[in-house]
Each structure stands twice: as structure tokens, then as C-alpha cells.
A and B are shown apart, each in its own frame.
Chain A
Amino acid sequence: MMGLTLNVMHMGMLSALVILTLGSIGSFKNSKLGFYGAIIALVIAFSAITITVSAAHFLSYGIFILAIAIINLVSLEAIKSEIKGVDYGLVGLMALATMYIFNTSEFALVLAALVLVSVPTYILVMIREGGANVEVGIKYITFMVLATVLFLIGAIMLVYTKSAFDGSLYVLGYVMLVLGLCLEVGVAPLHEWVPDVFSSADPIPISIIASLAKIVPFIAALWILVYTSCDLTVSITLFTAVIAAISMFVGNIGALTSKELGRVLGYSTVANMGYILSCFVVVAEPKFIYLALTGGLLMLFANAAGKIGFFNAIKGGGAYSPLMYLLAFSFIGVPPLMGFWGKLFILLSLAKMEYFWLVAIVVINSAISIPYYVRLATELGVEWKPNLTNFICLAAVVMVLVTVFLLPVEWFYSTMEVIAQTVGIAI
């Protein structure tokens, strides 16, 4: 019975991959085929996973991923790239990996998912109208390669200590993995590529890199750190806490004093990644992981929705003003928008771990961030026009507004609790 259900999921994933490939090939003839191929592949994978895994568990996570991926796919309409059609396939591949990582406990597959999400962005980042943005590509790829290498070596070291414990190896592995993660997602002080790439690449691919590509690295890192946690973890979490604090300050102060909108969003990403990294302090205490998972994921989704909206608005020369303000308020953390819940659960997880100084820093940073988010909304806000930009922004706003009703939050939270329990049992 077990074997059969697993097979359904894998069959589904496999057929999704085939459809994705066929769509991409077909797109050389007609770019629409790539788009529809990607959509169909995602729906098949989503349904296959939902049927296999206890539906309620995956739905709350999968539905957000599906939404983000579809908005990303649609937003690609706004740019006429040289690889039109294939880019759909790449985004589809990332989304498949992002869905899949939540449902596997195979170490190798976790790492594979990380690489699958990382590599397509190397190509996406260079997309621009008429030609390839090679300079940005080189800047980006240099750091991504370093990041992936650090992450993989760190992960392997950590997993090795699980079978043959060695304290110094654990510490080294932990630091390498976290540094890899920092480089990958852009946590200060290893964030140098972020402001440059975010301001000089095309906004559309950056909106994908800033949204869909951020989720898997965090889940993979959290998964490995929880899986390999030991007696040393309590003291080493201080390292992630300090890095997170630095990242929040660098990101927010940088954003506050930058002029270019893309650069502001780049620094905002640095700050947001700091918030999310801060909840990694729970890896020492598996019983609070559900709080970190809830907070981190909601924060990632809120960040994704906001970045998609803002970057698309930059591309489209502004979007409907109220939508921009709603996204800004979500970033600031105004209840009951999604950003608020993300921060709330992150703060709760920090408080449970008694990292009260970090709680204070998160709150202070939320306050620092208010002016530049409001400025973003003011500068990008325009009159309503029924165009693609506004529809994408509307979709993003609907996402952050889902949490206006308490039910989704409660549902998400309880799901994460169950998932965390199963993770705990697995350990």
C-alpha cells in the first residue's frame, strides 16, 4: 500500500517533468506551449502530491507555492526574452522542486531540490530584452557557485556527524552550511551581490529570484540543521542569531538610505532574509520548530508576494496605489496582513527560545523599515489601469490579504504543528 502511494507521487512528478520538457521543446515553435506546459505540469504535480500525502498537510503549503509560481509564470509575459518559452520551463522546474522538497525525507533529494532551484536562476538572471545580461550573470553565478559548494559540503559534513559524531566537524559543517545559505539568499555580511544584481538586472527575473527561489534554501537548511542537531546546537545558534541581527540592520539601514528602487528592494531582501534566518535559533529545541516553520514560511510568502508586486510595478512603470500600500503594509507588519503573522510567529519562536535581545532587534528593525516601504509605495503608486502589472499586483495583494481571515492562519499554523511533530518523530 505504502509503495503504491509513493509511486503515485513519483509518477506524477515524473509525468510533470516530461510535460515540462515537451512544453519547452514545443515552445521553439510556439512560446505559448511552454507556458501551458508549465501550468499543466504544476497542476499535475500538485494533484499527485496532494493525493499521496495527507491532503491537509500539503495543501496549506502547496497552494501558496502554486500561486507564487503561477504569478511568476504570468509575469514573464511582460518581457520578450530571447529564450521565450524555455523560461517558463525553468520556472516550472523551480516550482516542482519547491513543492517536492516539503514531501521528502531523503537527504540526497533535499540537496537535489536545492540545486534544481538554484541552477535555473543562473539563466533567468541574464534575461533581458534583446540579448543577455552577461555582467549581471557573472556577478550572480560567481556567488551562487560558491554558495552551493559551501552549502553542499556543510550539509554533507553535518550528516556525517550524525553517524560518527565529531564536535569540530559539526561546528565547521554548521558554519559552512549557514554561510552557504547566506550567500545563496543574500544575508549580510555576504550580501554584496544583492543590491547590484537587484538594481541592474531586469525586474521580472529578479522578481522570480526574490520570491520562488528563496524558499527551498531555507527549508533545506532548516531540515538538515534539525535533522543533525546535537548538544552543541544550543551554543552555535548564537552564530545564526548574530548574523541575522547584522543582516536586519544592514538591510534596513541600506534600504533607508538608498535612492534607486531596485536597490531599496535588494536591501529589503537582505533585511527580510535576516528576519527569517533569526528563527533558525529554534533548531536546538525541536518542540518549537512549528513556530519557526509557520513564521519563516509566512514571512517567505509575504516577501515573495511583496517582491513580485513591487518589481512588476517597477517594470510596468508603477501600479495602482492602494495595492502598493497594502504590499508595503504587509512588509512593515501591519496586522492582519500576512507580513504581520510572519513576524509574529518569528517573534514567538524567538521568545520561546529566550532570545529576547533578538526579539528587540526584530521589533526595532520593523520600525526602521517603515519609511522606505511607505516611500516605495508612494513612488510606485499610480492611477488604476487595467493592465498586466496591475493584475499581477492584485494577485499578490490577494495573497497577503488571505490572512485577514484568521482561519487560514490557524489552519496553516496547525498544519505546521503536525508537520513539525512528524519531523520530530523522524529525528
Chain B
Amino acid sequence: MIIDDWLVFLLLFLAPVLSSIPIALVYKSDKWTEKLPYLSVFGIFISVLMSLYIFTSFPENQQYAYTWIPDLGINFVLITDYLSCYMGVITAVIAFFIAIYGLDYMKGDYRPSWYWFFFNLFTASMLLVVYSDNLFLLFVGWEGLGAASWGLIGHWFRDDDEIAYVGVPKRKVGPLELSWPPSFGGWRAISTIRFGDVPMFLAIAAIWVLAGNLNISEINWETLFLNIGAAGTIILLVCFLMGLFTKSAQVPFSEWLMTAMTGPTTVSALLHSATMVAAGAFVFIKISWYIKPWELHHVPGLEIVYIIALFIGLISGLYGALAGSGMLERKVLLAASTMSSIGLMFAVGAASFWIHEEIAGINLALLVAFWYMAVHAFAKASLFLVSGHLIHATHSRFSCGGFEFAKRMKIPFIVTIIATTFLVGIPPLTAYWVKSAMDKSMEILWHEHHMLLPIILLILTSLIYSAIMARFLSLNFVRGEKPEHEHLEGGGLMKLGYTMMVSVLFILLYLIFTNAETKGFVDAGYASVSFAVGAGALIAYVIAVYVPRLKVFSRVPGTFFNDRMYLPFLNDYIMPKTGFFISHIVQNYGNRGIDGFFNTRVIPGLFGIISKGIRAIQTGYLKSYVKIVLGLVMVFLIVASLWGLGL
């Protein structure tokens, strides 16, 4: 039976990778690279089947362990808890729909082998992150995400097509040109992510040293935190969170996600909205699930960590929504809204520290964070896929298209309406119930813990968020400018992809009403505060559809928001300048010293003197040799005698 279980897991992880190896190998043959993508998609389909099989047939909360390097706690340990089972299905299904869409979208691309290999590698890595209980194994998958992200963002590495850029080419602000090509986008992504991965890796190592176990569900977190005290807990968890914040593009590490939009739209949909960026929030929810912070109020320092996560999440939420309100580029607008959503996931996940309420044995705040992740994943992936189709159809990455255009593009239009309204929390659509529970969580913080700011930030973010989603709809289908090009034929598989994607939102709505654990969401939806927020979202939505751009605001603060409040200066100016400054100091004062000691002066000088001395002895005359040898022997013997006498 164990073998069967492992077979399922092996198929789950390996089917996408193995099925993409053939296309990677025949990268030179146009004939084969045209056909083999179907095999890659089939590999992902197998993962879908396996994830569904795990979801339906595997016992819940079962751990599957296979020892690898037990001395270091590095083992293949997988777990089928609530989060893994759901997230596994979500990941595999989204990847599969996007892969179908990609068959159409990537047709005629100049390196399909590269694309499909990394796309499938990404899927496998994400599944590994989702199911793994062992922190090291999780980190392996985590690094796979980073590598695939780099490969896919920089997919169009030739930087030869303006349509793949982010920002307006040649637009300069101060010393910076606010325009980024794909190759640079890939570099920015991997460098930002590495910046967080290193402290995260150190934190994992520290957890191993301190707790002697790397399995998230088995670590005795309470003892661990109590042993290392307040400062230790804060340092350990903040190091760990660095990996999550960078991966999830929370402020101030959000810039890479904006320029990640230089990648193919399928990549933006899968990696940069639904799964990879959500992985940070997912891991946060997962470890909070087992840390159970609401039971650990006596642990010093833990509250500070959760306050940090709460406010980084809320600030990212507001920042993303505001930045999105000034943007015209389709995908970048969606990217900004994505970081906003993920910010809310972090915020409500962090609220679990103060919230004791449980539904079916699951903490309300964590459950809300997770369900919001699920709803957001399908809705945002649909929107990305639509915007990819629009970019193909209009040859423009800037929003354009009026009502006439919408009439000819009915399916994308309808899908956009569904995805946006279901996402922003308009009653009684899917996200409304989840957001209601989110409002309730923040209300608990206000009423029971006197924290008013979180709920204010949450409501503000919700309203602006609703407006920018409506703005996306309006600028592309209702009140946007007429596109210069229109290329409306084909795209059947693309339409199929996002139609299937958006239809999952209905299934989720059904699940919310039928699942036992989400009953609390429905109850929260009937609360008056929630309804007021929902009504507010609806009003913001309607207004933004009618007035997507305000002339008065378009210069200031529109430009300010569009330039992401000049955060690019941190990434592209302050950080590199600091780096150059440090390397300058190291080069001039460190390296020269080291060089001087080892390579140019001290050691070589000594070497020269010694070797001259050694060779100077060899005069060739026996007389001088005898003098030296006898002299030395005498000296040694006298010293030895004196020492002996002293005994």
C-alpha cells in the first residue's frame, strides 16, 4: 500500500518534468517542438489526476516519510493536511488550464523547448512546496520556483520586441530610465528572491540546529521559541519571513513582480498571480497552522513577528491597490493588484495570532487567508489570460478597447466581468463571503485588541481594489480608446483556457455554501459591517466602470502611482549604488591589502628572501659546508646539553 502511495506522489511530481524532457532535447527541430507541447500538457494532466486522487482517497493529515539524510533531518516527508490537499488540486488545475491556453498562445514562439521545460519544472516545484512537510524539501521546491521564474520571465531574452517590455521606452525620471526589457526582468526577479532566500535558508538551518527536526508538523515550536527567547524568536522568524516576503513581492520587495510582466502572459498568470507569488503567503499560512500562535501568547517576541507580518501585508495591500490605480499597462495593473491581494492574505494570516475563533477545528483567520488565496488564484489567472489574449488581439500591452471591441470579443468580455465582480467582494458573489470573514477578523482585532488601523486599511484597500479591477474592465472593454490593430481570429484554445478557469469560481461559491468549515464565511456575510463594505465595493466598482480615468488626477497623483511611487529607485539606483560603494571599498582597501599580503608584497617578498638565502648557502665548497654543519651541530648539542642540565 505504501508503494502505491509513493507511486502517486512520484507521478505527481515527476510526470510534468519527465514529459517536458523530450521537447527540451529536440530544441533544434521545429517539426518536433511543434508537436511535443501536447506531451508536456499531458504530463501536467497526470499531475491533476494524481492531486485529485490524493484529495479524494488519501487519509487526511497523513505523513509520508522516506529517509534521505536522517543525520541532517533532510528527508522526503510529505503531508496530506487540509492546506496541501486543496492547494495541490488548485495548483495542478490552474497549471493545466494555463497549459492548454499556452498551446495557442505560444504557437510560433522562438524557443518553445525552453518555455515548456521551465513551465513544467515550475509546476513540479510548486507541487513539491505544497505537499512537503520537511522544510529542506520545501526549500528544494522553493528554489525550483525561483529558477523557473528566472527562466520564464526572461523567456524572450533577445529583448527585441517592445511588446514584452514593462514601462514606456526611453521615459526617464531623474537618472533612471523607467523601462525594463525581459532579460533585465528575469535578473531582477532572481536577485530579489535570492536576497530573501539566503536568510530563509539560514533560518531553516537554525531551526534544524535548535529543534533537531525539520518537519513542520513535528517541530515543537513552543519549546523552540521559549529556548531562544524574544530576540532569538524575532530574528529567526524574520529571517524566515524574508524568504516569504521577497517571493510574494511584499513591500519593499515588490518591484521584481512588476517587471516580471516582461514574461509571456501564461507565465504571469501561473507564476506571478496564482501560485508562485502566493507560495510565500501559503508557507506563512502553513507554518502558522502548526505554530498555532493564538495559543502561544506567553511566548515573548512572537507577537512582534505577527505585527510585522500584519502591517507589511496591509501596507502592501494598500500600496498595490494605489499603484494599480494609476497604471495603464494591462499586465502591470494586474500585477499591482496581485501584490495587493497577497498582502491581504499575509495580513489576515497574521491576524491569526489574536483570533481564537475556530470553525471545524481550523483557525478562522488562517482559513480565510487560504480561501482568499484560492478565489484570487482562479479569478486573477482568468484576468491574466484574458489580457494575454487582448495583447495578441490588439498588439498593445497598454489598455485599449471600447464597447464596440467588446461586442466582437464577447467571451473575454464576459469572463472579465465574472472574474472581476467575483473577486472584489460584491455581494453575493464568491469573494464576498471570504472578504466578509476577513472584515470580521479585522473587526475582532479592533473590538478585542483595540487595533483600529488594520480594519481601516483593509476597507480602504478593498474599495480601491474594487475600483482598479473595474478600471481594468472599463479601459479594455467599455470606455477605452479604440485599438490601433485588431486581430480577432483564432484563439480557440485561449478562450477555452480562461473560460474553464473562470468557471471554477462558481464551484468555489458552491463549496463555500456546502463545506462545513466555510459556514463561518456565510455567517459573516450576513453581518451589517460586511454588507456595508460589500456595498461600498459595488459602488466603487460601478463608478470606476463609468469613469476609469480622471483627467484631474492623471498627472498628479496618477503618474506618481503609475511609477509605483518611485520604488524602482530602491531596486535600480539605491541598491546597486550601495553595492558598488561596498565593492569599491572592498576592492580598494580590502583586496589591495589581501593582495599585497598574499600576492604582491609580503609573502612573495619573504619567499624571495628565503629562496635567495637557501641558494646562497650552496657555494659548492666543502669547507663552508663543513663550517655550517659543524656549527649547527655544536649549537644544537650545546642547547640540548643546557636543557638537559636544567632538568
Given known A-B contacts A142-B626, A183-B629, A250 and B614 have beta carbons under 8 A apart: yes
Q: Is the CB of A192 within 8 A of B618?
A: yes
Q: Is the CB of A143 within 8 A of B629?
A: yes
Give the distance in Å from the alpha carbon of A158 to the alpha carbon of B305 in the complex.
72
A residues at B contact (CB < 8 Å)? 138-139, 142-143, 146, 150, 167-172, 174-176, 179, 183, 189-190, 192-193, 195-196, 232, 249-250, 253-254, 256-258
Q: Is the CB of A168 within 8 A of B611?
A: no
Nearest Cβ distance between residue A102 and chain B, in whole angstroms?
A: 29
Give the distance in Å from the alpha carbon of A254 to the alpha carbon of B618 in the complex.
11
Q: Is the CB of B644 within 8 A of A196?
A: no
11 A/B residue pairs, CB under 8 Å, sorted by A? A150-B633, A168-B641, A171-B640, A171-B641, A172-B637, A172-B641, A174-B640, A192-B618, A192-B625, A254-B615, A258-B615
Q: Which residues of A contact B360 (CB under 8 A)?
A: none
Nearest Cβ distance between residue B620 and chain A, in whole angstroms?
A: 6
Q: Which residues of A contact B632 (CB under 8 A)?
A: 189-190
Nearest Cβ distance between residue A241 and chain B, in whole angstroms?
A: 15
Give the distance in Å from the alpha carbon of A170 to the alpha carbon of B641 in the complex.
10
Q: Which residues of B contact A142 (CB under 8 A)?
A: 622, 626
Q: Which residues of B contact A250 (CB under 8 A)?
A: 614
Q: Is the CB of A175 within 8 A of B611?
A: no
Give the distance in Å from the alpha carbon of A168 to the alpha carbon of B646 in the complex.
8
Chain B minimum-CB-distance residue to A250: B614
Q: Is the CB of A139 within 8 A of B641?
A: no
Q: Is the CB of A168 within 8 A of B636?
A: no
Q: Which residues of A contact B565 (CB under 8 A)?
A: none
Give the distance in Å from the alpha carbon of A228 to the alpha carbon of B633 in the complex.
22
Given known A-B contacts A168-B641, A253-B610, A139 and B625 have beta carbons under 8 A apart: yes
Closest 4 CB pairs of A and B: A168-B644, A175-B640, A167-B647, A171-B644
Residue from B610, B629, B630, B643 having most chain A Cβ neighbours under 10 A: B629
Chain A minimum-CB-distance residue to B633: A179
Binary per-residue interface labels of chain B (603-629) against chain A in the complex, 1 for a CB within 8 Å, 0 otherwise: 000010011001101101010011011
Q: Which residues of B contact A172 (CB under 8 A)?
A: 637, 640-641, 644
Q: Is the CB of A171 within 8 A of B618?
A: no
| Residue B645, interface by CB 8 Å | yes
A-B pairs with beta carbons under 8 A, tally:
70
Q: Is the CB of B618 within 8 A of A168?
A: no
Give the distance in Å from the alpha carbon of A91 to the alpha carbon of B439 in the complex.
99
Nearest Cβ distance between residue A278 and chain B, in whole angstroms?
A: 18
B residues at A contact (CB < 8 Å)? 607, 610-611, 614-615, 617-618, 620, 622, 625-626, 628-630, 632-633, 636-637, 640-641, 643-645, 647
Chain A minimum-CB-distance residue to B618: A195
Give the distance in Å from the alpha carbon of A175 to the alpha carbon of B643 in the complex.
11
Q: Is the CB of A171 within 8 A of B633?
A: no
Q: Which residues of A contact B618 (CB under 8 A)?
A: 192, 195-196
Given known A-B contacts A171-B644, A190-B629, A179 and B614 have beta carbons under 8 A apart: no
Nearest Cβ distance between residue A235 and chain B, in whole angstroms?
A: 9
Give the distance in Å from the alpha carbon of A40 to the alpha carbon of B640 in the complex.
47
Q: Is the CB of B622 within 8 A of A139?
A: yes
Q: Which residues of A contact B644 (CB under 8 A)?
A: 167-172
Give the distance in Å from the alpha carbon of A253 to the alpha carbon of B617 in the complex.
14
Give the distance in Å from the alpha carbon of A172 to the alpha carbon of B644 in the complex.
7
Chain B minimum-CB-distance residue to A174: B640
Q: Which residues of B contact A171 (CB under 8 A)?
A: 640-641, 643-644, 647
Q: Which residues of B contact A249 (CB under 8 A)?
A: 610
Q: Is the CB of B629 within 8 A of A146?
A: yes
Give the distance in Å from the alpha carbon of A175 to the alpha carbon of B610 in the complex.
25
Q: Is the CB of A253 within 8 A of B611?
A: yes
Nearest Cβ distance between residue B603 and chain A, in whole angstroms?
A: 11
Chain A minimum-CB-distance residue to B608: A257
Nearest Cβ distance between residue A267 and chain B, in whole angstroms?
A: 8
Chain A minimum-CB-distance residue to B647: A167
Nearest Cβ distance between residue B109 and chain A, in whole angstroms?
A: 49
Give the distance in Å from the alpha carbon of A190 to the alpha carbon of B617 in the complex.
11
Q: Is the CB of A138 within 8 A of B633?
A: no
Nearest Cβ distance between residue A168 and chain B, in whole angstroms?
A: 3
Q: Is the CB of A257 within 8 A of B615?
A: yes
Give the distance in Å from the alpha carbon of A282 to the alpha carbon of B576 in the complex.
56
Nearest Cβ distance between residue A134 and chain B, in whole angstroms?
A: 12
18 additional contacts, CB 8 Å, given A192-B629, A254-B614, A254-B615? A139-B622, A142-B626, A167-B644, A167-B647, A168-B641, A168-B645, A171-B640, A172-B640, A172-B644, A179-B633, A179-B636, A190-B632, A192-B617, A192-B625, A192-B628, A253-B610, A253-B611, A253-B614
Q: Which residues of A contact B617 (CB under 8 A)?
A: 192
Give the distance in Å from the alpha carbon of A193 to the alpha carbon of B621 in the complex.
10
Q: Is the CB of A232 within 8 A of B647?
A: yes
Chain B minimum-CB-distance residue to A235: B643
Given known A-B contacts A139-B625, A190-B632, A253 and B607 have beta carbons under 8 A apart: yes
Q: Is the CB of A138 within 8 A of B622?
A: yes
Q: Is the CB of B611 within 8 A of A254?
A: yes
Give the distance in Å from the alpha carbon of A313 to the alpha carbon of B626 in the complex.
31
Give the distance in Å from the alpha carbon of A170 to the alpha carbon of B640 in the complex.
10
Which residue in A143, A168, A189 is a CB contact (below 8 Å) of B647?
A168
Nearest Cβ distance between residue B426 and chain A, in whole angstroms?
A: 71
Nearest Cβ distance between residue A3 and chain B, in whole angstroms?
A: 42
Nearest Cβ distance between residue B608 and chain A, in whole angstroms?
A: 9
